[in-house]
Amino acid sequence: MLNSLSIRDLAVVTQLNLELSEGLTVLTGETGAGKSILLTAIGLALGDRADSGYLRSGAEKAEIELVFDISDAPSAQSWLQEQSIDDEDSCIIRRQISKDGRSKAWINGRAATIKSLQALSEQLIEIHGQHAHLSLLEPNEQLRLLDSFSNNDIERQKVTSLAEQWKQTNQIIRESEQNSQEQQAKEELLRYQIQELDALNIESLDFNGLEQEHRMLANVDKILMTSQQQLDQLYENDQQSANGLLGHSIQALEELEQLAPELKESTQLLNEAQIQLQEAVTIIRQQVDHMEPDPNRLAWLDEQIGLLSDIARKHHIKPEELPEKLESLQTELKEIERSSEENGELKGQLETLQKDYDSASAKLSKLRTQAATALQTKISESIKQLGMPQGKFLVDIKIDPDKQPQTEGRDRVEFLVSANPGLPPRPLGKVASGGELSRISLAIQVAASDSKSTPSLIFDEVDSGIGGGIAEVVGHKLKDLGSNNQIICVTHLPQVASQGNHHLLIEKTSSKEKTETTVKALSNEERLNEIARMLGGLKITEQTLAHAEEMLATSS
């Protein structure tokens, strides 16, 4: 529950330190005294949007601090433990708003995001605003209230998770199918390109080798003629060949070795040269012996090199890069084929998700239907006590079996009411008057809140539009609710205020220099005077004091 609230330099509050207790705490005050500032402060501390307009005039920053006892809030304890910011049974939330509009927040002394504040606040406190009856006309709010009463969080989360998974998977499949025509054309092109390259045996292509062979065959006559000429000059002409001349030189030098031993090295070098020359001649003769013109092979090489050059130009690459291009095309084709296989797998997953969603949403619908029976009975009883003796409240649930998976399930919930006998139930907004709608709204909120695990509930003038004996019934209901929850209620009705376990008075004082709002806990005598003021206005008579005393006496 909320133990204390501290405010500094927020709107018309300079400094406020407020201690709160369990049970029903009522807040009263003159119109315009600033009763809503406390709720504004709590909302800001729990993640509402903030700006510099909330600052007190002339202040540099505003600060709000909430201290909760979370011993009665296991879900909040779990959340804090998950975030590693738990502090036994206490939780301190602080938010600071600067003059430039920026804000900072802390949970148990650790910096926190607005999203974290909002997530934590759902486990700690629930605020019912004075215009709640207007949002009650929205289908989504009616569904939320039914779910709140049903306590079906686990089933609802499962349905939400399955619906989100289904939508994501379906979106991927749709995008894939939208691109399927383009992919199919791409796949056909890739297969044609690969087949075209395979026909040229690209995988084993040695383009440089083909070019070299082509150059040789194109010049075979020149090679043979020149080779024969060189063979004659090097070896085969006995008198004038290089081999013959070397032989003569070696013989002459060997005869001189006896006279000039220093020539022996030269002789050895010439011998080695003659040996290398003879080896070169052997190689040339072997090549020439196996070389002959081959017009057919040359024509084939001409055609092959032309085809390879043409297809390389189509792919904007060099012919020698064709093997790498083939590998790239094959990889791209495999990716498309794998994508098609994955698309088939995704369709299988989608069918499984659909079945799981159908099962989960059917279970959720069953829980809602069961809860709806109990809720409509409870609210029908409440609205009869709240001045609609012939009133009847119904929760109409329609299931759309063909509806695509939605995060809220397949149910469409509508609140129906019959205010007078003999009239069929009709949608809430088409039947109830403003006052009736306020009473029905309060009955629904009390019924739903009674089943909530949230330890603190705030009601902000939800009793508007009612009075007299009905107001007293409202007070009793809020007091009963306070036996299990901490209830904070801003009210203008003495019948409600008199039921409070604790009474806080909000006052506003003005001077030429400043306007300020203060809050104080009332003593028994002060409370008597405040109830009398609420009954009789500015002039408090003995009669109104007696009436106020009677109301306080009967409420205890």
Would you state the pLDDT for residue 368? Answer: 95
Would you state the pLDDT for residue 159? Answer: 94
Banded pLDDT at 480 (limits 50, 70, 90):
confident
Would you state the pLDDT for residue 127? Answer: 80
Of the chain, the percentage scoring pLDDT greater than 90 comes to 29
pLDDT beyond 80 at 193 = yes
Of the chain, the percentage scoring pLDDT greater than 70 comes to 93
pLDDT beyond 90 at 12 = no
Would you state the pLDDT for residue 22? Answer: 92
Banded pLDDT at 14 (limits 50, 70, 90):
confident
Choose between 413 and 233: higher pLDDT. Answer: 413
Are 367 and 146 a contacting pair, CB within 8 Å?
Answer: no
The full set of domain ranges for the chain reads 184-336
- Which residues have a Cβ under 8 Å from the Cβ of 539 and sit 6 or more positions away? none
Choose between 238 and 255: higher pLDDT. Answer: 255
Would you state the pLDDT for residue 409? Answer: 93
Most confidently modeled range among 55-59, 363-367, 444-448: 363-367
Would you state the pLDDT for residue 428? Answer: 81
Specify the amino acid at residue 549: E
DSSP state of 246: H
Would you state the pLDDT for residue 134? Answer: 64
Are 12 and 490 a contacting pair, CB within 8 Å?
Answer: no
Mean pLDDT of the chain: 86
Would you state the pLDDT for residue 555? Answer: 80
Would you state the pLDDT for residue 123? Answer: 86
pLDDT beyond 70 at 434 = no
pLDDT beyond 80 at 21 = yes
User: Which residue is it, tokens 């998977």?
Assistant: 169
Choose between 179 and 387: higher pLDDT. Answer: 387
DSSP state of 101: S
Task: Write out pLDDT tens, residues 158-178.
Answer: 999 999 999 998 888 887 766
Task: Write out pLDDT tens, residues 392-415.
Answer: 899 999 988 777 899 999 999 999
Q: Count the Cβ atoms, other than its own, within 10 Å of residue 381.
A: 14
Would you state the pLDDT for residue 348? Answer: 87
Banded pLDDT at 64 (limits 50, 70, 90):
very high
Task: Write out pLDDT tens, residues 281-318.
Answer: 888 888 888 788 888 888 998 888 888 888 899 999 99
Q: CA-CA distance, 540 to 507, in Å (whole number)?
A: 18
- According to DSSP, the β-strands at 426-427 and 24-28 are unpaired
Mean per-residue pLDDT, 436-461: 75
Would you state the pLDDT for residue 446? Answer: 75
Specify the amino acid at residue 471: A
DSSP state of 551: H
Cα 505 to the center of its chain, rounded Å: 44
pTM of the model: 0.62
30: left (phi over 0), alpha (psi -120 to 50) or beta: beta
Beta bridge partners of 69: 90
Would you state the pLDDT for residue 179? Answer: 61
Q: Which among 463, 496, 493 has a CA at the least distance from the CA of 479?
A: 496
pLDDT beyond 80 at 249 = yes
